[in-house]
């Protein structure tokens, strides 16, 4: 059995947990989760979200890590080779292709949004926000989006940093940098949580997230929750398979998966508990949508003691969180170029970085020059978001579950996961529950049900 990876292996469980949590914790936790929870009635959303995370997310993340480690290859060859080795068709590699493509495409808009946090971090340092109103902050945000040059500069910085880290390799780039970025992120988040507890309406924020109100559960919150679960766990986007390919054989997949899923959920909740109390303390609206951080929270900071300092810390944290995710979106493509085309890591990083950079202009211009250019009523940014979050990822996740549940011999999963009596539960979930739930949600998203 081939038991190494040409790219190197993570040092151990902790390294993997940090790197995988780095992938899962990102804009999805700190920017997307709070505003989606806010839009979907807070607590009502939470319950459905937690069910999606543990019923669909956890079994799938285990499956993806297993595929990666078993095949020790990039997602396309990992799924393809496992299928062929087990007397099925190499056509299954389509699942890998969809995943790899998702991660790649997501990076083209993720880098742009991550760039916004650099702009805001600097704005707070320069003291740009003082006793601002929501209307003013809204205008500042809109003006910023209308300025392609700024968006391009910051997206370029993010893409450059991302490609630099993956270009340095699994050990010297990813592992080494994650070792300071993840602890840094957690410390910053806790500092901001402390600030929020001290000066925000903590109880109100807490109630907003946790006070259970079943009347607010709707079909829409179910869809939003599932979509969020996929996004926040970096599922069906190549990242987890790619990282799994570097996991040492001795590591327990269930253990690391559980820790990663729990950490990701925990950090999303802490981010919510840090953000909402500040919003409420300033009498602002939690249902703001994508502008929650850049408009609402920014307004809150600007009206609070030491707000500029904590605003700076907040956006610094957001930038770090985004970077630890962006590197995971491209590692699958990196591994593919290195393994298939025999390119060096540096060459792969340069070529991929240039392509991502060009494609990111589509998202940049969606907010200004090309804001009127629509494909089926969506800007380029919305189209890429829709194609990945609503089509490629749910479909990819469903096929992944079917592949592991029905094609890959049961004995392989049994040996890889080493779950003991829990194996049956995992196996039946991934066989029946996961694909079925995804199909239902997928069809309703496309408008066939409900
Ligand atoms: N999970 C990350 C977040 O919450 C985003 C992310 C990282 C991602 N890698 C991914 C999303 C791959 C989809 C696919 O921000």
Give the Å distance between the CA of 197 and the centre of ligand 1: 28
Pocket of ligand 1 (CB under 6 A): 23-24, 26-29, 102-103, 106, 231-232, 234, 237, 239, 325, 328-329
Nearest CA to ligand 1 atom 10: 234
Residue, of 445 and 238, whose pLDDT is higher: 238
What are the backbone angles phi and psi of residue 429, rounded to the nearest 5°? -65, -50
Out of 325, 327, 387, mutate this one to test ligand 1's pocket (max ligand atoms within 8 Å of CB): namely 325
Out of 234, 324, 329, mutate this one to test ligand 1's pocket (max ligand atoms within 8 Å of CB): namely 234
Reported as a pLDDT band with limits 50, 70 and 90, residue 449 is low
Give the Å distance between the CA of 57 and the centre of ligand 1: 13
CA distance 26 to 328: 11
The pLDDT, as a whole number, for residue 220 is 75
The pLDDT tens digits of the residues spanning 85-127 come to 998 999 999 999 999 999 999 999 999 999 999 999 999 999 8
The pLDDT, as a whole number, for residue 1 is 47
Out of 232, 263, 331, 397, mutate this one to test ligand 1's pocket (max ligand atoms within 8 Å of CB): namely 232
The pLDDT tens digits of the residues spanning 190-233 come to 999 999 999 888 999 988 888 777 777 777 778 788 889 999 99
The pLDDT tens digits of the residues spanning 7-55 come to 999 999 999 999 999 999 999 999 899 888 877 777 778 888 998 999 9
Greatest Cα pair distance, the chain, in angstroms, is: 66
Give the Å distance between the CA of 192 and the centre of ligand 1: 23
Q: pTM, whole model, 2 decimals?
A: 0.94
Give the Å distance between the CA of 215 and the centre of ligand 1: 31
For tokens 């997310």, what's the residue?
Answer: 57
CA distance 447 to 358: 33
The pLDDT, as a whole number, for residue 177 is 94
**pLDDT at 445 > cutoff 90:** no
Give the Å distance between the CA of 305 and the centre of ligand 1: 33
Out of 110, 182, 318, 393, mutate this one to test ligand 1's pocket (max ligand atoms within 8 Å of CB): namely 110
Mean pLDDT of the chain: 92
CA distance 18 to 259: 10
Q: Label residues 277-303 b or e (16+ Cβ within 10 Å = b).
A: bbbbbbebebebeebbbbbbbbbbbbb
Using alpha carbons, select from 63, 179, 104 the residue that is nearest to residue 426: 63
* Nearest atom within ligand 1 for CA of residue 236: 14
Nearest CA to ligand 1 atom 7: 325
* Nearest atom within ligand 1 for CA of residue 33: 4
Nearest CA to ligand 1 atom 12: 234
- Over residues 67-95, the mean pLDDT reads 95
The pLDDT tens digits of the residues spanning 266-312 come to 999 999 999 999 999 988 888 777 889 999 999 999 999 999 999 99
* Nearest atom within ligand 1 for CA of residue 31: 15
Q: Are 60 and 257 in contact (CB under 8 A)?
A: no
Q: Are 151 and 364 in contact (CB under 8 A)?
A: yes
CA distance 260 to 254: 10
DSSP string, 144-172: HHT-HHHHHHHHHHHHHHHHHHHHT-III
Q: Are 74 and 340 in contact (CB under 8 A)?
A: yes
Q: C-alpha angle 228/229/234, rounded to 5°?
A: 100
Give the Å distance between the CA of 85 and the centre of ligand 1: 30
């Amino acid at each position: 059995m081939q038991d190494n990876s040409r790219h190197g292996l993570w040092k151990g469980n902790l390294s993997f947990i940090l790197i995988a949590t780095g992938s899962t914790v990102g804009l999805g936790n700190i920017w997307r989760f709070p505003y989606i929870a806010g839009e979907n009635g807070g607590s009502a959303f939470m319950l459905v979200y937690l069910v999606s995370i543990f019923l669909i997310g956890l079994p799938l993340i285990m499956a993806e890590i297993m595929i990666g480690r078993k095949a020790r290859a990039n997602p396309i060859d990992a799924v393809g080779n496992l299928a062929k080795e087990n007397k099925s068709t190499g056509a299954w590699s389509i699942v890998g292709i969809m995943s790899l493509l998702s991660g790649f495409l997501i990076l083209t808009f993720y880098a742009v949004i991550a760039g916004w946090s650099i702009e805001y971090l600097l704005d707070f340092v320069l003291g740009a926000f003082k006793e601002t109103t929501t209307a003013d902050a809204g205008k500042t945000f809109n003006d910023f989006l209308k300025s392609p040059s700024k968006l391009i500069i910051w997206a370029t910085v993010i893409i450059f940093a991302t490609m630099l880290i993956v270009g340095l390799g699994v050990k010297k780039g990813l592992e080494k940098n994650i070792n300071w970025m993840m602890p840094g992120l957690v410390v910053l988040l806790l500092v901001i949580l402390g600030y929020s507890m001290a000066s925000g309406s903590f109880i109100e924020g807490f109630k907003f997230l946790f006070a259970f109100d079943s009347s607010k559960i709707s079909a829409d919150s179910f869809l939003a929750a599932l979509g969020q679960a996929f996004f926040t766990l970096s599922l069906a986007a190549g990242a987890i398979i790619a990282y799994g390919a570097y996991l040492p054989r001795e590591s327990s997949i269930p253990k690391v998966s559980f820790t990663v899923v729990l950490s990701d959920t925990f950090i999303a909740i802490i981010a919510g508990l840090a953000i909402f109390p500040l919003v409420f303390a300033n009498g602002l609206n939690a249902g703001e949508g994508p502008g929650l951080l850049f408009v609402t929270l920014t307004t809150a900071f600007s009206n609070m003691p030491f707000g500029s300092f904590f605003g700076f810390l907040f956006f610094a944290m957001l930038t770090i969180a985004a970077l630890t995710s962006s590197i995971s979106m491209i590692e699958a493509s990196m591994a593919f170029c290195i393994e298939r085309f025999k390119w060096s890591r540096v060459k792969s990083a340069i070529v991929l970085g240039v392509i991502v950079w060009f494609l990111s202009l589509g998202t940049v211009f969606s907010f200004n020059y090309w804001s009127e250019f629509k494909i089926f009523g969506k800007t380029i940014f919305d189209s890429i978001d829709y194609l990945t979050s609503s089509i490629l990822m749910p479909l990819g996740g469903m096929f992944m579950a079917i592949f592991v549940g029905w094609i890959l011999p049961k004995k392989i999963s049994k040996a890889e996961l080493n779950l003991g009596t829990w194996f049956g539960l995992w196996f039946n979930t991934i066989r029946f529950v996961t694909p079925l739930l995804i199909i239902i949600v997928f069809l309703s998203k496309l408008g066939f049900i409900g």
